[in-house]
Structure 1
Amino acid sequence: MFKAMRRKDRQLSDDESRRILEQGEYGVIGTIGANGYPCSTPLNYVLEGDNIYVHFFIKGGNIHESINVNDKVAFTYVGKTEVLEDEFVTNYESVMVFGKAEIVDDEEKRHALVLIVDKYSPNFKKQGLEHIEEDFDKACVVKIVIEHVTGKARRG
């Protein structure tokens, strides 16, 4: 179903790909919109097991509408880049995820929002939990259930 990586010498193990993904700060979710066009949106995220959680505050926006039309998504993270201009190459590490997305509610939504606070604002947990309660009804959380992960790196 998924093509094999052409540059096998740069392929990362599944464990290393997930470690890199877990440490990343933001990624890009790719969806297919109701109009048939692709849409890529950068977002903060958190990885837990075989799920990636993202959140936003616009129900009915591009991601929300796209998932209702087609739940298949791609998620990409690129990190640790270094342009080596004299060699005409770039060192990098990247992870691509393919999976199915769904809008989550109630306890899973709350759980995901707490994970996001823990990752991005660990020194402000109390305020983060208050923020979750204040905006809980406005927040939309999407879970990407990972079906395929592939990581690649050039570390010169």
Structure 2
Amino acid sequence: MNGEANVMARAPRRADRTVGTGEAAAVLAEGLYGVLSTVGPDGLPYGVPLSYIVRDDAVYFHCATVGRKLEHLDARPEVSFCVVGKVRTLPRQFATEYESVIVAGRASRVDGEEKRQALVGILEKYSPEFMSEGEKYLAAKFDVVTVVRIDIEAISGKARR
């Protein structure tokens, strides 16, 4: 991670809501789902929600072996990934308490032990009480799943609490 570099390379409009790199990284690690944003070979944007893990300054997710997401990543590996953490609406104030983080980075497919470790990490995050069954499932499906790593190049976070 390159520290507190602003993902969009410009100052945030509400700088008073900016959180530090450590807090942004915590929101990212604790989130359940994020939205991956890509640009395809045709120049059209695409955003897709997905489950993920964070490990070693990278975001990992899994997907099928073919599809629009991979076509976009093959054409342009530069991505944005956004996670919204805790949210609470404040109806009387016409406002919302929230925390969010955006990362920018480059995506690439991984294989071998790195792929296996990422899949085990996903199991640990989303199905910790079913590890034995999950590892059998992974062994059977290992060759028909793709794992992608996003190397985090920039991270920024905002919060209103």
Q: Separation in 1 of the partners of 2:41 and 2:122?
A: 28
CA RMSD between the two structures: 1.0
What pairs up with 1:124-143 in 2 under 5 angstroms? 124-143=130-149
Aligned residue in 2 for 1:19: 26
What pairs up with 1:6-155 in 2 under 5 angstroms? 6-57=13-64, 59-155=65-161
State the shift of 1:31 in Å: 0.5
Q: Which amino acid aligns with 1:119?
A: K
Q: Separation in 2 of the partners of 1:130 and 1:34?
A: 37
Q: Which amino acid aligns with 1:45?
A: Y
Deviations 1:96-142, CA, capped at 9 Å, x for gaps: 00000001111111110011111111111111111110100111111
State the shift of 1:70 in Å: 0.3
State the shift of 1:151 in Å: 0.4
Ranges in structure 2 where 5+ consecutive residues have no aligned partner: 1-7
State the shift of 1:62 in Å: 1.2
Q: Which amino acid aligns with 2:102?
A: M
Q: Separation in 2 of the partners of 1:63 and 1:142?
A: 10
Identity across the alignment (%): 44
Higher relative contact order (CA 8 A, sep 6+): 2
Normalised to the residue count of structure 2, the TM-score between the two structures is 0.92
Q: Separation in 2 of the partners of 1:20 and 1:49?
A: 15
Q: Separation in 2 of the partners of 1:139 and 1:3?
A: 37
Q: Which amino acid aligns with 2:25?
A: R
Number of corresponding residues: 154
Q: Separation in 2 of the partners of 1:5 and 1:112?
A: 33
Ranges in structure 1 where 5+ consecutive residues have no aligned partner: none
